[in-house]
Structure 1
Amino acid sequence: MNSQGTTAILVFANSAKEDLANKSIPKGEQLFDVLTKTTLKKAKNTGLPVFHFSDKDQVGATFGERFTNAIATVFDKGFSNLITIGNDTPHLKTQHLKHTANQLALGKTVIGPSIDGGFYLLGLQKSNFEVAEFQNLPWQRFSLYHQISLWLQEESSELIKLPVLQDLDNERDLHSILSFSFGLSSTLLLLIIGLLIRNRSLFYAKQNFSTLLPNSFLYNKGSPVVSFI
């Protein structure tokens, strides 16, 4: 099976203005904008068709309804497989997406767990997608990953799990990202550091920025997840 012809990527990501209203990262509009642009670039680098559903494109009263409707819309375009991602996982790589597409082509289902109990990536077969059941999962709750894994294991012949990655929902997550900064662009790092300094939550705020750039991360312990593929 040729995954290039049967698989699409859905980037389910709100506008920077909407993210600013819903996430606990004050003054983060520029950060959200860069995250979305970076994510779209990674998705397009796979060579697969990419569909971006921002808040202006989404239909439904709840997150579950909006997410489910977006997935159904892309499947209705004739694709057999779909990879869904958001814009808030900086360590997501194009290789993760390509690997997922290959697994989908083999008839497998894929999930990428987030540290907060959700997921940053979902690779679905159209044949395993049930609108009513999917919509009723415990969206935006800590139990989501557990519940959706159980559901996928029932629906799929085999569930492939990717490495756990950190997503960005609040200032605490920004600190966590700095602890695993290897592989992130200097643009993104400077945005995160600048936000923490402006919000007075970075204890080493007076350090020289040059010591915080990728080649000088003496405090970076590294992250086993970013070395994937």
Structure 2
Amino acid sequence: MKNTFSKETAILIFANSAVAETRHKKTVANLDLFRALNERAVKTAKASALPYFHFTEKEQQGTTFGERFSNAIQAIYDKGYKNVITIGNDSPQLKASHIIEAEKQLQLGKTVLGPSSDGGFYLMGLHHSNFDPTLFLRLPWQRFGLFNKISQLFESYDSHLYRLPVLHDIDTVADIRTLLNFSKTVGSSILKILDSFIKRSVRIVSKNVQILQHHFTSLHFNKGSPVLMQFS
């Protein structure tokens, strides 16, 4: 889909490298997965025909997530852009059409949020006039209820908020299982990795259950006494 809007808007891909992601998201730590997610995020940004900037941990500045995110947004504004559309790498359902729609609404003077199913957001479209770094730092970043809080903040600016469709992101194994139920909205290469990840997880759980069963059957229980067990 070709984007015919002016180049007042830039995309900020705020996503760590695959290596860093495996350290932060241990329950879904898979190097191939995060490499594929980063590649998809960049490919999606390119397909929108908007200029984009990828801020990994090397480009990010600040101690907290809120500081790093706010500083990255400000860095795009400092380049002369009036609008910034932020995306991450953990929403494989995100398409270029979502980004193009976000820019369309920005051109109409609206603020844009793409809610994720866990209470956060996968996309934010923001005009420079509605960006207050001080207030941004106070938001409950990486916590439940973020979408509601940031929605309230934008509404306090008397800015009309446009909501994109709800998408699923990847933070836990449960998220991966959920996405497998929406296979038509996920790229085939990522879908293959997700499917492989779940099958491997099932094998590991099955093996651990067998070990635990063997451990329990080998114990001599004293009736009426609690059994306290510690597993390393």
What TM-score range do you get, normalising by the shorter chain? Answer: 0.7 to 0.9
Q: Deviations over 1:56-82 (max 9, x none)?
A: 110000000000000000011000001
User: What code does the residue aligned with 2:123 have?
Assistant: L
Please, what TM-score do these two structures have when normalized by structure 1?
0.85
In 1: Cα distance, 2:190 partner to 2:171 partner: 15
Give the match for residue 120 of structure 2.
118
CA contact (8 A) 2:14 2:54 kept: yes
The question of whether the paired residues in 2 share the 8 Å contact of 1:26 and 1:199 is answered with: no
Alpha-carbon shift at residue 26 of structure 1 (Å): 4.2
SS in structure 2 at match of 1:5: coil
2:7 match: 5
The residue identity in structure 2 corresponding to 1:58 is Q
Q: Secondary structure at the match of 1:32?
A: helix
Deviation sequence 1:122-141 (CA, Å, 0-9, x none): 00010010010012111011
Quick check: which has more Rg, 1 or 2? 2
Aligned residue in 2 for 1:168: 170
Measured after TM superposition, the shift of residue 157 of structure 1 is: 2.6
Does the CA-based 8 Å contact 1:113-1:165 persist in structure 2?
Answer: yes
Name the SS for the 1:82 alignment partner: strand
Give me the identity figure in percent: 46
Distance in 1 between residues matched to 2:89 and 2:168, nearest whole Å: 12
Q: Which runs of 5+ in 1 are unaligned?
A: 204-229
SS, match of residue 68 in structure 1: helix
Q: Which of 142, 155, 179 in structure 1 is aligned with 2:157?
A: 155
What's the offset of the Cα at 1:23?
1.0
Residue identity matched to 2:33: L
In structure 2, distance between residues paired with 1:93 and 1:156? 28
C-alpha distance in 1 between matches for 2:44 and 2:95: 7
* Cα distance between partner residues in 2 of 1:25 and 1:191: 15
Give the TM-score normalised by the residue count of structure 2: 0.83
Structure 2 unpaired stretches of 5+: 206-232
8 Å CA contact 2:130–2:157 kept in 1: the answer is yes
Q: How many residue pairs were aligned?
A: 202
State whether residues 10 and 71 of structure 1, in contact with CA within 8 Å, keep that contact through their aligned partners in structure 2: yes
Counterpart of 1:191 in structure 2 is 193
> In structure 2, do the counterparts of structure 1 residues 178 and 59 end up closer, same or farther at CA, with 3 Å as the change threshold?
same
1:138/1:27 CA distance change after superposition, 3 Å: closer
